[in-house]
A = this chain, B = another copy of it.
Amino acid sequence: MSPADLRERVDKALHEFLQRAVAPLAGISEDLAPFGAVTEAFVMDGGKRLRPAFCYWGHRGAGGPDSDALVRAAASLELLQACALVHDDVIDSSDTRRGAPAVHRRFAAIHRSEGWRGDPEAFGSAAAILLGDLALIWADTLFAESGIAVEALQHAFPIWDSMRVEVMCGQYLDVVEQARGGGSVERALRVARYKSAKYTVERPLHLGAALAGAHGELLTALSEFGLPIGEAFQLRDDVLGVYGDPAETGKPAGDDLREGKRTVLVAFALEGGSEAQRETLRRLLGDPALDDDGVTILRDVIAATGAPERVERLIDERYESAQRALESPLLDPTAADALRELAAAATRRAH
């Protein structure tokens, strides 16, 4: 199962589910057409399908067989992710996502083109909040109706629940950290752990493994791989958020700086910078009006504190630790190979 083949199967499962899920909306009201169409466009357009891949290979790693039901259950993670992203973009007032207008901006545009009353942005946020809720509900429906046997689903439900709670808690901690102004490496790492490491990697692996009846030692082995690689993934994302190519990240350059994201990278810069550097960081980070010059200044100051090298070291350590965990005799070797590839791709390293 190549990564591309798996992605295609996940996309197919999502497409088929959304066709079925959106259809009844037309019976309620034609006014719901944009609601269904925007959901489909957002879910189907892009996304690396990383969480379904970890779920799939967690299942195979635990000795579970390939099946379309498994792919459907794994695909449900993309609907949960759609909720998280759509709500996150409302929270951050982000303009773009995956290189296209954020969902709340798409609804604001509908409001404008219809010439409706009131504030288009407020309408956009309202619609995006409700669309995110719908995606969260649909995630649940697709997971429960995936065709996986009821006993296996029952065994996996506690993980499904924990994962959903953890991502919302991680998002909240992120918002609090931003409000607090950051500065703590420890707290920034905790946000990365809950928002990303557990949610993006460890829990999807556990979910897939639990659907194969796994528990105990095998779940621990998957955590020993999943947590470090998930943290490395988030750390890489933080670096790309500041230094990455917009064509690759799908977000305008400097967006993370304008939002004032309190990442581990920023915490290192605040911790290791001189008084003057810290002053610049405090002044410019989170300034919504930050222009290209401001972005360049921030990039240079962060680089001058040595923070990027420290983050790269953390990524390396975590990557190595994850690689060692894959040598566990508990894991199916084909799955371990696939996870090795996913780990490299997720942290943007050569093999």
A residues with a Cβ closer than 8 A to B are: 21, 24-25, 28-29, 31-32, 35, 83, 87, 90-91, 93, 111, 114, 116-118, 122-123, 125-127, 129-134, 136-138, 140-141, 144, 150, 154, 157, 161-162, 164-166, 168-169, 171-173, 175-176, 178-181, 190, 194, 260, 286
Contacts and interface: CB of A to CB of B under 8 A. Distances in A.
Number of copies: 2
A333 B87 CA distance: 46
Contact of A118 (B150, B168, B178): B178
Nearest to A28: B169
A179 B136 contact: no
A137 B134 contact: no
Contacts of A171: 130
A173 B87 contact: no
Contact of A175 (B24, B123, B132): B123
Contact of A126 (B91, B131, B162): B91
B130 A87 contact: yes
Nearest to A84: B133
Contacts of A154: 150
Contacts of A126: 91, 172, 175
A129 B165 contact: no
A169 to B, nearest CB: 5
A97 to B, nearest CB: 16
Contacts of A150: 150, 154
Contacts of A122: 93
A162 B25 CA distance: 10
A150 B152 CA distance: 12
A90 B126 CA distance: 8
Nearest to A92: B126
Contact of A136 (B136, B169, B172): B136
A145 to B, nearest CB: 8
B28 A194 contact: yes
A172 B286 contact: no
A212 to B, nearest CB: 19
B123 A179 contact: yes
A130 B28 contact: no
| Smallest CB-CB A-B distances: 8 pairs | A116-B179, A91-B126, A137-B164, A126-B175, A134-B168, A130-B172, A141-B161, A133-B168
